[in-house]
Amino acid sequence: MPFENNEEGGDKGAGRKRNPWGSGGDGGARTPWGSPGGRSGAGPRGEDGPPRGSTTPDFDDFIRRSQERLREMAGGGRPGTRFGGGGRSSLPNLPWLWIAGGLLLLAVGSTSAYRINAGERGVVTRLGQYHKTSSPGFHLKLPAPIDHVIKVQFENIRTTEIGSPQGTAENLMITGDQNIIDIAYAVRWRLSNAEQFLFQLKDPDTTVRDVTEAAMREMIGRATLDNAIGPERAAIAEEVAQRTQEILDSYRSGIRIQGVDIRQADPPAAVDEAFKDVSAAQQDAQQFLNQARAYAQQVQAQAQGATAAFDKVYEEYRLAPEVTRKRMYLETMEQVLGKVDKTIIEAPGVQSYLPLSELQRRAQANRAGASQ
C-alpha cells in the first residue's frame, strides 16, 4: 500500500507522521537504502525490503568513505584528499618503501652468494643439518638463516707435537724389556672428508693426539730399549702411522695421516749419564770387535797368498827338484845373511873373512876428516 501523509489543519507539516525508515517526509533525510525519505517512487512498499520501484542501494558512497578513512589512518592526511597527502598525487612514504626493499634485497643477496678459496671446502648446512660440500669457486645458497656455510682448510698439512725434543717436558714410556724411554715425536695429518671432520669429532686436534699416543705406546711396548733408540726407530714410526690411521678410520674422522716423525728417543734424564757411559762402552766394544775382524781378514788374506805362492814353488819343484832346491837354499840364505854386517865367502884361494863393516867405518872417518 502506498505511503500517505495525514494532514490536519492548514499546516502541512504539523500533523505529518514519520515514515517507517526513520525520517520525516522532507527531502533532506536519507533512508537506510541511501535515497531520500518519504516515498521513493510511486509504487507500494514490499513486505521485507524497500519500497517497490526504488533505486539500487548506494554502496559506492559507503566504499568511498571507507577508503578515505583508510587513507587517513595510513597517510595521516585530511579526508577528501588523495592518499591522505593534502592533494598530492603520490604516496609520501614511497621513497622509504624503495629503500626498505633495496636493503632487503641486499641482505638476501649478501647471504645467498659465497666464495670458496683454493685449498678450502665449504660445508653447507640447511636448517642445521648437513646439505652438501662445496669445492673452490663461486656458489649460491638459500639466504640465512636457512643455509649456513662453514669454511675449512682442506689441503693444509697440520702437525701435532707430542713430547718435547728440548727436554722441557718428559714423555715417558715403558719398552718391551721393562726399560723406560723418554720419547718425543710429531704426527703430520690433513683432511680427507670435510663433513666427517666437522660433525664426527668434537675436538679433532685432541683426538689425533690421543690416538697417536696410544699407538706409540703400543709399538714401544713391543720393542726393546736398544731397538727403540737405535735401528728400529723408522720402522716403529711407520707402524705407528698405520695403526693411527686404522683407529681414525673406525671413528669416521675424515683425517688422513701423512706420517709420524720420532724426534727424540732417550732414557730418562735421571739415568741419562749412566746410560751414556753404558752406550759408550758398547760402542767401544763394537769398535774393538770391528778391528779384530779386520785384522783376522788381513791375516787370512796373507795366509792365502803365502799358500798360493808355496803351491807355485811346489809345482816348480816337481818339474826340476835339484834346481828348485838350490834356488830355495840361495834365496833363504840371502834373506838370513842380508840382515847381518858380516860376509862369509867359501871359495878356494879367497880369504874366508872380510871385515867389510870395519872398512866401511874407516872410509866414513876418512871422508869426515877430509871435509874438515
What does the pLDDT look like over 7-26, one tens digit per residue? 444 444 444 444 444 444 44
Residue 193 shares a structural domain with residue 131? no
* Residue % of the chain over a pLDDT of 70: 72
Place of cell 589512518: 73
- Convert 238-263 to b/e letters by CB count within 10 Å (16 or more is b): ebbbebbbebbeeeebbbebeebebb
- State pTM to two decimals: 0.50
CATH of the domain at 230: 3.30.479.30
Q: What is the pLDDT of residues 274-328, one digit of tens each?
A: 878 888 898 999 999 999 999 999 999 999 999 998 888 888 888 888 888 888 8
Residue 149 shares a structural domain with residue 166? no
Residue 36 has pLDDT above 90, yes or no: no
pLDDT band, residue 43 (cuts 50/70/90): very low
Place of cell 707435537: 161
C-alpha cell at 164: 718435547
Backbone angles phi, psi at 88, to 5 degrees: -70, 155
Residue 129 shares a structural domain with residue 166? no
Q: Pick the residue with more confidence: 275 or 332?
A: 332
Closest CA to 84 of 94, 93, 74: 74
Residue 249 shares a structural domain with residue 182? yes
State residue 267's pLDDT score: 83
What 8-state DSSP symbol labels residue 355? -
Residue 165 shares a structural domain with residue 262? yes
Task: Give the 3-state secondary structure percentages of the chain, helix then strand then coil, rounded to 5.
Answer: 45, 20, 35
Q: Does the residue 239 lie in any domain?
A: yes
Q: What is the pLDDT of residues 161-219, one digit of tens each?
A: 998 776 567 788 999 988 888 899 999 999 999 999 999 988 999 999 999 999 999 99
State residue 241's pLDDT score: 95
Place of cell 690416538: 211
The whole domain housing 186 covers 159-267
Residue 208 shares a structural domain with residue 237? yes
Residue 260 shares a structural domain with residue 240? yes
Residue 358 has pLDDT above 50, yes or no: yes
End-to-end CA distance of the chain, in Å?
190
Backbone angles phi, psi at 69, to 5 degrees: -65, -40
Residue 163 shares a structural domain with residue 119? no
State residue 64's pLDDT score: 77
C-alpha–C-alpha distance, residues 108 and 259, integer Å: 45
Residue 243 shares a structural domain with residue 263? yes
C-alpha–C-alpha distance, residues 128 and 115, integer Å: 20
Residue 198 shares a structural domain with residue 240? yes
Beta bridge partners of 120: 153
State residue 27's pLDDT score: 45
Helices (H), the chain: 59-75, 94-112, 194-199, 204-220, 225-229, 233-250, 272-319, 321-337, 356-371
Q: Does the residue 37 lie in any domain?
A: no
Residue 50 has pLDDT above 80, yes or no: no
Q: Does the residue 120 lie in any domain?
A: yes
Residue 149 shares a structural domain with residue 209? no
Q: Does the residue 166 lie in any domain?
A: yes
Domain's final residue, options 267, 282, 299: 267
C-alpha–C-alpha distance, residues 117 and 346, integer Å: 107
Closest CA to 41 of 32, 50, 49: 50
State residue 42's pLDDT score: 41
- Structurally, how many domains does the chain consist of? 3
Q: Does the residue 2 lie in any domain?
A: no
Residue 74 has pLDDT above 80, yes or no: no
Residue 177 shares a structural domain with residue 126? no
C-alpha–C-alpha distance, residues 115 and 137, integer Å: 6
C-alpha–C-alpha distance, residues 141 and 147, integer Å: 7
